[in-house]
């Protein structure tokens, strides 16, 4: 009990410290979400059983409430970014491209996982990670360099903005298949029923929050309502053996699209986003055994995903007119390789959901590093330049 209390205090301290360090780096123009996440995982490993021993054994189980709440909060933050009023303003073609392209990454990874002997649920979960893509590297380069292909950059940003929607939905399916209530796990509930229940929990709680926040203006009151909402979602998901992340994402989407003044809740949600993610990464790092490495998972998220990027480039090539589109095709898909905070959040969810799978965490983290390095290198070479005149194709 004492070690659990000490671990919780240490966790809160590092969550606050990590948030402050990130803000300090941002003020100096230094930002790399995936690399920051790996740093906090290493810090967690150094504080765990194999390091300083400040965290108890089976820390993910002993502090499971923190994991459930943290994943729920990450889901809520993601959901609040889905403003369908903005999405509806886009053309049908752009929406089709944005929602379809991530599946070009996810389907080969899922099929490859099954072919390599991984469980179907884990394979689909890895597909969700493969579908997630982050615009952080692209935006950082756009701020510091000249853009050589504005249409190409805009198209990549479009796909990256949409990528989280199918990724979270696919992960909801993986979580449903891994639930002890699922038919193939000995239960009596079909997986698609559990996906429907996940969505229903999020929608009901989301509409309840819309009603509760009417007329509320104080930040502390809104924060209290948001905390209670995420706790309710985490508890309901835990009882059903599901992940809180997809249900909370549904609730966040309902909130931002149905609330009268959603920007107030947006500020509240983002205020705890970074501390929650840091806490989860430190916890997962503390549970890291450090001795296992799943080569199949690493190959799926690097080699298979790289091949899928070529196919995605061919798919996206027709959306770019002019010589720039012809010159970049099919390499344009390499710009979708970098991954960030959503991929890290899904990784944490997978590790907490499939604790018996050894070496998955190490393999996914190594793959994230490779993807960010390769994708960043390609974008610096083909989409940006420190000199020369900006082009518009």
User: Of 102-106, 180-184, 212-216, where does mean pLDDT reach its minimum?
Assistant: 180-184
For residue 210 the two structure tokens come to 């819309």
Query: Global pTM?
Result: 0.85
- What is the topology classification, in CATH, of domain 2-385? Na+/H+ antiporter like fold (1.20.1530)
| Runs of H (alpha helix) within the chain | 2-27, 33-47, 59-62, 64-79, 84-89, 92-115, 120-131, 136-144, 150-178, 191-212, 219-240, 244-258, 262-271, 273-286, 295-299, 305-317, 323-328, 341-353, 360-382
pLDDT value at position 190? 85
pLDDT digits (tens, 9 = 90+) for 339-359: 877 888 888 888 877 766 778
| Average pLDDT over all residues of the chain | 80
CA 384 to chain CA mean position, Å: 26
pLDDT at 4 over 80: no
- Burial (0-12, 13-18, 19+ Cβ within 10 Å), 318: exposed
Task: Delimit the domains of the chain by residue range.
Answer: 2-385
pLDDT at 3 over 60: no
pLDDT digits (tens, 9 = 90+) for 68-111: 888 888 889 888 888 888 888 888 888 888 889 999 999 999 99
pLDDT digits (tens, 9 = 90+) for 244-285: 899 999 999 998 888 877 778 788 887 777 777 777 778 777
């Amino acid at each position: 009990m004492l070690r659990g209390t000490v671990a919780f205090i240490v966790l809160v301290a590092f969550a606050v410290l990590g948030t402050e360090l990130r803000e300090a780096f941002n003020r100096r123009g230094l930002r790399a979400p995936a690399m920051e996440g790996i740093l906090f995982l290493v810090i967690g490993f150094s504080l765990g059983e194999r390091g300083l021993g400040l965290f108890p054994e089976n820390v993910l189980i002993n502090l499971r409430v923190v994991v459930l709440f943290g994943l729920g909060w990450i889901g809520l933050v993601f959901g609040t970014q889905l403003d369908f009023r903005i999405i509806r303003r886009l053309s049908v073609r752009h929406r089709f491209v944005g929602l379809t392209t991530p599946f070009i990454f996810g389907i080969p990874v899922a099929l490859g996982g099954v072919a390599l002997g991984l469980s179907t649920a884990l394979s689909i979960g890895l597909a969700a990670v493969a579908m997630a893509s982050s615009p952080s590297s692209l935006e950082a380069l756009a701020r510091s360099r000249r853009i050589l292909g504005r249409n190409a950059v805009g198209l990549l940003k479009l796909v990256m903005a949409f990528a989280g929607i199918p990724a979270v939905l696919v992960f909801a399916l993986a979580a449903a298949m891994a639930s002890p209530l699922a038919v193939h796990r000995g239960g009596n509930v079909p997986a698609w029923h559990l996906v429907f229940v996940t969505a229903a929990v999020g929608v009901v709680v989301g509409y309840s929050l819309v009603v509760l926040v009417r007329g509320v203006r104080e930040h502390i009151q809104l924060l209290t309502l948001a905390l209670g909402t995420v706790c309710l979602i985490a508890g309901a998901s835990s009882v059903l053996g599901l992940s809180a992340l997809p249900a909370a994402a549904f609730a966040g989407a309902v909130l931002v699209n149905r609330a009268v003044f959603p920007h107030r809740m947006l500020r509240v949600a983002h205020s705890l986003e970074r501390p929650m993610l840091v806490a989860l990464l430190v916890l997962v790092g503390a549970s890291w055994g450090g001795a296992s490495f799943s080569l199949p998972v690493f190959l799926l998220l690097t080699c298979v995903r790289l091949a899928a990027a070529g196919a995605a480039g061919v798919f996206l090539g027709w959306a770019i007119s002019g010589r720039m589109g012809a010159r970049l095709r099919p390499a344009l898909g390499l710009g979708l390789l970098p991954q960030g905070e959503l991929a890290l959040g899904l990784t944490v969810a997978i590790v907490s959901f499939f604790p018996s799978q050894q070496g998955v965490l190490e393999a996914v983290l190594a793959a994230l590093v490779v993807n960010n390095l390769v994708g960043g290198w390609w974008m610096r070479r083909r989409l940006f330049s420190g000199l020369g005149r900006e082009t518009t194709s």
